[in-house]
Amino acid sequence: MSKLKVMTVFGTRPEAIKMAPVVLELNKYPDLITPVVAVTAQHREMLDQVLHLFSITPHHDLDIMSQGQTLFDITTRAMQGLNQVLAAEKPDIVLVHGDTTTTFAGALAAYYHQTAVGHVEAGLRTGNKYSPFPEEMNRKLTGALTDIHFAPTLTSQQNLLQEGTPEANIVVTGNTVIDALMATVDKQYVFQDELLSRINFSSQKIILVTTHRRENLGEPMRHVYQALREIVREFSDVEVVFPVHKNPRVRDVVKTELGCTERVHLIDPLDYQPFANLMARSYLVLTDSGGVQEEAPALGKPVLVLRDTTERPEAVAAGTVRLVGTDREKVHQQTRQLLTDSEAYQAMSGACNPYGDGLASRRIVQTILFRYGYSGVKPEPFA
Ligand code: UD1
Ligand code: UDP
């Protein structure tokens, strides 16, 4: 029996963080699997940070990122590059992750080559095609092209079943983000970064902030930053640490609203290791990120989500995450409450981890081996 060729395709920071444990797991079976890593590099620096941390050297790097790239740029460049890679490699299955434009292009390119598609982090839905934009449709369209759906939770499995996906094609695995997080957060971790190493986490309340969603660009983000300015003015024991996304459309507004504000630290995107450990030591997280919404609850950190919808309802139901949107008054009021009302804070800060147990990547690789007849053991789903 010849070896199974499994190609992973990813391109942005979050995909890389969540696919790295899968790549490392695939590497454990050199007698059965030939792993091929293809990156579109829809992100450049933010992708390279993760590749470096997990010591992954891609076999193919399309290097497509351009400043101010449009959705059309990403889709067409990724499709053209992947066409050549797929023609040369002829994998048995292509694994894509999540909901970015790289994800959708990866699945579509594989389909055009009549190659099987495995979708990691399948089945999350808001039900609103423009929120998050374009991620909701990227994920849904990828699902339509997928042969094996690796749903992280029962909720995501349920979403797929409701859309008519055959149950036999869905495996509930847990989210690989928890695999990555468990391998990265360490109580003894020492920050190398000068600013982070100077912070006194016991006397100061650290609010960790990230923003990048396309639907929040411009005024919605401005309103959030104005609320934050009011918060630091009101609370002298609060410091904001804000690793600012590389997107110039984010950076410009951040600089205008929060540049030179006392106790607001605007820094470049952090490597995943310091970022995850900073999150573990923060008081509160404000974010529009998908991945951070999954990580912070596992670390017992309350999250105010700067969005109107979420495809990750599990931690909202558990009470660790609140959807607050981007209205200035609401963001201010909700942040203020968590700084002044210890009961409200305690109610949100109990660690809850509906997203995984650290074994998702193993389940994914075991499932592939089982499906293709390379193993007789069908893995138990994540409960
Ligand atoms: C993309 C994904 C989004 C994901 C996010 C994670 C799409 C449509 N969007 O959004 O789903 O949540 O990544 O962060 O797939 N840039 C750099 N260096 C980098 C990364 C980005 O300079 O390392 C700048 C470039 O100018 C680039 C811009 O950021 O054009 C926007 O990047 P893009 O991938 O188009 O969108 P994101 O908002 O990052
Ligand atoms: N992250 C990071 N450095 C940062 C900010 C975030 O490593 O400065 C990590 C974070 O821990 C999470 C992922 O990046 O795993 C989330 O990426 P992002 O918010 O860009 O995308 P999304 O998850 O919304 O698609």
Chain segment 344-373, per-residue pLDDT in tens: 999 999 888 899 999 999 999 999 999 999
Q: Which atom of ligand 1 is nearest to the CA of 103?
A: 15
Pair 259, 279 in one domain: yes
| Predicted pLDDT at 97 | 98
pLDDT class of 166 with cuts at 50, 70, 90: very high
User: Does residue 382 belong to any structural domain of this protein?
Assistant: no
Q: Which atom of ligand 2 is nearest to the CA of 272?
A: 7
Asked whether 382 and 357 are in contact (CB, 8 A), the reply is yes
Pair 166, 237 in one domain: no
Instruction: Give helix 328-340 / helix 342-349 axis angle, nearest 10°.
Output: 90
Pair 146, 290 in one domain: no
Residue with tokens 């993760």: 50
User: Does residue 320 belong to any structural domain of this protein?
Assistant: yes
| CA distance to 82, 170, 212, 335, 380, per residue, from 253 (Å) | 34, 42, 11, 21, 47
Quote the ligand 2 centre to 129 CA distance (angstroms).
Answer: 22
Model confidence at 185: pLDDT above 90: yes
Chain segment 42-79, per-residue pLDDT in tens: 999 999 999 999 999 999 999 999 999 999 999 999 99
> Which active-site residues does the annotation give?
99, 121, 135, 212, 214, 245
User: Does residue 186 belong to any structural domain of this protein?
Assistant: no
Pair 8, 110 in one domain: yes
Quote the ligand 1 centre to 42 CA distance (angstroms).
Answer: 7
Q: What proportion of the chain, given as a percentage, has pLDDT over 90?
A: 98
Chain segment 80-123, per-residue pLDDT in tens: 999 999 999 999 999 999 999 999 999 999 999 999 999 999 99
Pair 151, 67 in one domain: yes
| Predicted pLDDT at 1 | 82
Count helices and strands in the chain by DSSP H and E runs? 16, 13
Pair 208, 329 in one domain: yes
Residue with tokens 């309103």: 223
Q: Which ligand is nearest to the CA of 287?
A: 2
| Predicted pLDDT at 210 | 98
Chain segment 232-254, per-residue pLDDT in tens: 999 999 999 999 999 999 999 99
User: Does residue 60 belong to any structural domain of this protein?
Assistant: yes
Quote the ligand 2 centre to 292 CA distance (angstroms).
Answer: 6
For residue 186, what are its two tokens? 């360490």
As a whole number of Å, the end-to-end CA separation of the chain is 33
User: Does residue 377 belong to any structural domain of this protein?
Assistant: no
Pair 167, 18 in one domain: yes
Q: Which ligand is nearest to the CA of 46?
A: 1
Give the residue whose CA is nearest to atom 7 of ligand 1: 100
Q: What is the DSSP letter of 219?
A: H
| Predicted pLDDT at 352 | 85
User: Does residue 77 belong to any structural domain of this protein?
Assistant: yes
User: Does residue 182 belong to any structural domain of this protein?
Assistant: no
C-alpha 41/C-alpha 66 separation (Å) is 10
| Predicted pLDDT at 350 | 87
Pair 142, 24 in one domain: yes
pTM greater than the 0.85 cutoff: yes
Q: Which residues constitute the domain of residue 365?
A: 4-175+356-371
Pair 148, 219 in one domain: no
Query: Is 366's C-beta closer than 6 angstroms to any atom of ligand 1?
Result: no
In the chain, helix, strand, coil percent, each to 5? 45, 15, 40
Q: In the structure, which protein residues have their CB atom closer than 6 angstroms to any atom of ligand 2?
A: 13-14, 17, 210, 212, 243, 269-270, 272, 275-276, 289-292, 295
Q: Region 279-308: what's the mean pLDDT?
A: 97
Residue 49 phi, psi dihedral angles, 5° rounding: -55, -45
Q: Region 178-205: what's the mean pLDDT?
A: 96
Pair 127, 240 in one domain: no
| Predicted pLDDT at 236 | 97
Give the residue whose CA is nearest to atom 13 of ligand 2: 14
pLDDT class of 274 with cuts at 50, 70, 90: very high
**How many folded domains does the chain comprise?**
2
Pair 129, 242 in one domain: no
Quote the ligand 2 centre to 376 CA distance (angstroms).
Answer: 37
Beta bridge partners of 205: 238
| Predicted pLDDT at 106 | 99
Asked whether 211 and 11 are in contact (CB, 8 A), the reply is no
Q: How would you list the strands of the sheet with 148-151, edge to edge? A: 60-61, 33-39, 4-10, 93-97, 116-120, 148-151, 170-172
User: Does residue 180 belong to any structural domain of this protein?
Assistant: no
Pair 202, 328 in one domain: yes
CATH of the domain at 89: 3.40.50.2000
Model confidence at 381: pLDDT above 90: yes
